[in-house]
C-alpha cells in the first residue's frame, strides 16, 4: 500500500522552498549610493623585499573604505599593482579578523600615470565587489597580497614603490622591512619614524597622496646574498635577533570563500536529506509492534544486533595521505606566521627544516 505524504513531509518541503528563496535571492539594495560616496580612508602597504621568495618582494595592501554619506552606499574595491606583479590573495578582512576570499577582476590601468615602472606599462587595476551596501559610517577592509620582481643580480639593489595619486585616498602608510644582512640602507623620502629593532628592521612612512601626483618610495641597500632572508635567518647565518611584522600588519587569508550560491547548495543538500528521511520513513524509531514483527524485543537492541551500525575501521581500504611538497609546507608556514599563530622564530625553524629536507 502506497504511503501518503504526512503533514511533516509537506511542512519540510515548504521549509526547503522558503529557505532557498531567502538564501538564493540577491539582497535588495534600495536607494544605495554610488562609489563616489565611499572613500579609501587609509591604505597600509607592507613591503618585504627578498622576504620569502628569491628575487621578489612581498607586498601586502590593507585598504579601509568608509561610507561618508547619510544613506547606504556600495562600490568596488579598486587597488593598483605594478606591471609584472604576481597576484596572490584578495579578500575582505572582517571585524572578527577572518579573511573572506574574493574573486578579483584584473584590467589594464588606463588614464593613470603612476610613473615609469621600467616595463613601459601603466600597471593593473585589481577590483572586486564589496557584495553589499555599507551603512552610513560603516567601514570595509580589503586585504591583498602580491609579489613584484627585485633585481638581485648585483649586490647594490634598488626597490621602488609607487601608487597613483587619487583624491579618494586620504592617507597612505608604508611599512618597509629592510632585508636581513643588508647594509647602507637609504630611502627617499626618509622615514617619518624610527625603525624597529631586530635583524630585519621596519621603517615607517606617512604619505598624503594628491590627485594626479603618484606616491613614490625608493629604497636602496647592499646585500651580498640572494637568499630570502627569512630562510637565511632560520639557518643561523644572520644572527639570533628576531624581527616581527609591523603592528597591525594584515594576516594571510582564511579559506572561507562561501558565496550565497554555495551556501544555498549546502542548505539544499542538508534539507533534502531530512526531507527524504521524512517521506520514506527512514530514521524513525520502530514501535514495539514493528520490533516484535522483525524479531526484536520491546527495548534495547534487536536480535539481529545493535540498531546503530558502527562504521568500519578508518584504516581499512583508505589511501595514505598525500605528502605535501616543500613549497606547500613553506606557504602554509608563512600563512601561520602572518596570522600570528606562530612566532617568527618558529617560522625560521620550519623553513630551516624544509631546506634540509630538500637537499
How far is Cα 73 from Cα 313, in angstroms, rounded to an integer? Answer: 55
Say what the pTM is: 0.58
Architecture of domain 35-234: Sandwich (2.60)
Sort 107 into a burial class: Cβ within 10 Å, 0-12 / 13-18 / 19+.
Answer: exposed
Least reliable range by pLDDT among 94-103, 284-293, 335-344: 284-293
Quote the pLDDT of residue 237.
43
pLDDT digits (tens, 9 = 90+) for 54-90: 999 999 999 999 999 999 999 999 999 998 899 999 9
Quote the pLDDT of residue 6.
59
How far apart, in Å, are the Cα atoms of 333 and each of 50, 231, 340, 347?
A: 17, 12, 11, 6
Least reliable range by pLDDT among 60-74, 160-174, 289-303: 289-303
Quote the pLDDT of residue 247.
37
| Residue percentage of the chain with pLDDT more than 70 | 56
* Mean pLDDT of the 287-300 span: 40
How far is Cα 282 from Cα 276, in angstroms, rounded to an integer? Answer: 8
Quote the pLDDT of residue 129.
94
Sort 252 into a burial class: Cβ within 10 Å, 0-12 / 13-18 / 19+.
Answer: buried
Q: Which residue has the cell 521524512?
A: 278
Quote the pLDDT of residue 315.
41
CA atoms within 13 A on the CB side of 90: 19
Phi and psi at 347, nearest 5°, equal -60, -40
* Mean pLDDT of the 89-101 span: 93
* Mean pLDDT of the 149-173 span: 90
Confidence of residue 271 (pLDDT cuts 50, 70, 90): low
Quote the pLDDT of residue 292.
38
Q: Is the pLDDT of residue 318 over 80?
A: no
Handedness of CA 210, 213, 219, 225 (dihedral sign): positive
Strands (E) across the chain are located at: 38-49, 56-67, 76-81, 86-93, 99-101, 105-108, 124-129, 139-149, 156-163, 172-177, 183-188, 202-207, 215-222
Q: Is the pLDDT of residue 279 over 80?
A: no
How far apart, in Å, are the Cα atoms of 180 and each of 123, 197, 198, 219?
A: 29, 12, 9, 14
pLDDT digits (tens, 9 = 90+) for 23-54: 454 443 334 445 567 889 999 999 999 999 99
Confidence of residue 18 (pLDDT cuts 50, 70, 90): low
Answer for the pair 160, 217: CB distance below 8 angstroms, yes or no: yes
Single out the residue of 211, 168, 171 nearest to residue 75, CA to CA. 168
Q: What is the mean pLDDT of the chain?
A: 72
Single out the residue of 109, 23, 123, 38 nearest to residue 72, CA to CA. 38
pLDDT digits (tens, 9 = 90+) for 117-136: 444 457 999 999 999 999 99
Answer for the pair 178, 201: CB distance below 8 angstroms, yes or no: yes
* Mean pLDDT of the 230-252 span: 43
CATH 2.60.40.1730 in the chain, residue ranges: 35-234
Higher pLDDT, 30 or 262: 262
Confidence of residue 256 (pLDDT cuts 50, 70, 90): very low
Least reliable range by pLDDT among 175-179, 314-318, 338-342: 314-318
pLDDT digits (tens, 9 = 90+) for 206-237: 987 776 678 899 999 999 999 998 765 454 44
Amino acid at each position: 500500500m502506497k504511503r501518503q505524504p504526512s503533514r511533516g513531509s509537506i511542512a519540510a518541503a515548504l521549509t526547503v522552498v522558503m529557505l532557498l528563496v531567502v538564501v538564493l535571492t540577491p539582497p535588495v539594495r534600495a536607494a544605495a549610493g554610488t562609489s563616489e560616496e565611499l572613500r579609501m580612508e587609509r591604505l597600509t602597504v607592507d613591503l618585504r623585499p627578498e622576504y620569502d621568495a628569491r628575487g621578489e618582494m612581498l607586498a601586502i595592501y590593507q585598504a579601509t573604505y568608509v561610507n561618508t554619506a547619510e544613506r547606504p552606499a556600495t562600490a568596488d574595491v579598486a587597488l593598483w599593482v605594478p606591471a609584472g606583479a604576481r597576484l596572490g590573495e584578495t579578500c575582505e578582512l572582517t571585524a572578527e579578523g577572518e579573511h573572506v576570499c574574493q574573486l578579483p577582476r584584473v584590467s589594464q590601468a588606463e588614464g593613470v600615470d603612476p610613473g615609469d615602472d621600467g616595463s613601459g606599462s601603466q600597471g593593473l587595476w585589481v577590483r572586486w565587489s564589496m557584495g553589499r551596501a555599507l551603512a552610513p559610517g560603516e567601514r570595509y577592509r580589503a586585504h591583498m597580497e602580491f609579489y613584484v620582481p627585485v633585481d638581485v643580480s648585483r649586490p647594490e639593489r634598488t626597490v621602488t614603490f609607487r601608487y597613483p595619486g587619487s583624491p579618494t585616498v586620504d592617507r597612505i602608510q608604508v611599512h618597509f622591512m629592510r632585508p636581513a644582512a643588508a647594509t647602507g640602507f637609504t630611502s627617499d623620502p626618509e622615514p617619518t619614524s624610527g625603525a624597529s629593532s631586530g635583524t630585519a628592521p621596519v621603517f615607517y612612512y606617512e604619505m598624503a597622496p594628491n590627485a594626479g601626483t603618484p606616491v613614490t618610495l625608493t629604497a636602496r641597500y647592499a646585500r651580498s646574498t640572494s637568499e630570502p632572508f627569512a630562510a637565511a635567518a632560520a639557518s643561523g647565518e644572520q644572527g639570533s635577533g628576531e624581527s616581527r611584522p609591523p603592528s597591525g600588519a594584515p594576516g594571510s587569508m582564511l579559506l572561507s570563500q562561501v558565496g550565497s550560491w554555495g551556501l544555498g547548495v549546502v542548505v539544499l543538500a542538508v534539507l533534502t536529506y531530512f526531507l527524504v528521511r521524512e517521506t520514506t520513513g527512514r530514521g524513525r524509531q520502530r514501535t514495539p509492534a514493528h520490533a516484535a514483527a522483525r524479531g526484536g524485543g520491546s527495548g534495547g537492541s534487536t536480535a539481529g544486533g545493535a540498531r546503530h551500525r558502527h562504521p568500519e575501521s578508518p584504516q581499512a581500504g583508505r589511501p595514505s595521505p598525500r605528502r605535501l611538497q616543500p613549497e606547500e609546507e613553506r606557504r602554509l608556514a608563512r600563512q601561520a606566521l602572518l596570522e600570528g599563530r606562530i612566532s617568527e622564530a618558529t617560522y625560521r625553524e620550519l623553513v630551516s627544516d624544509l631546506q634540509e629536507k630538500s637537499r
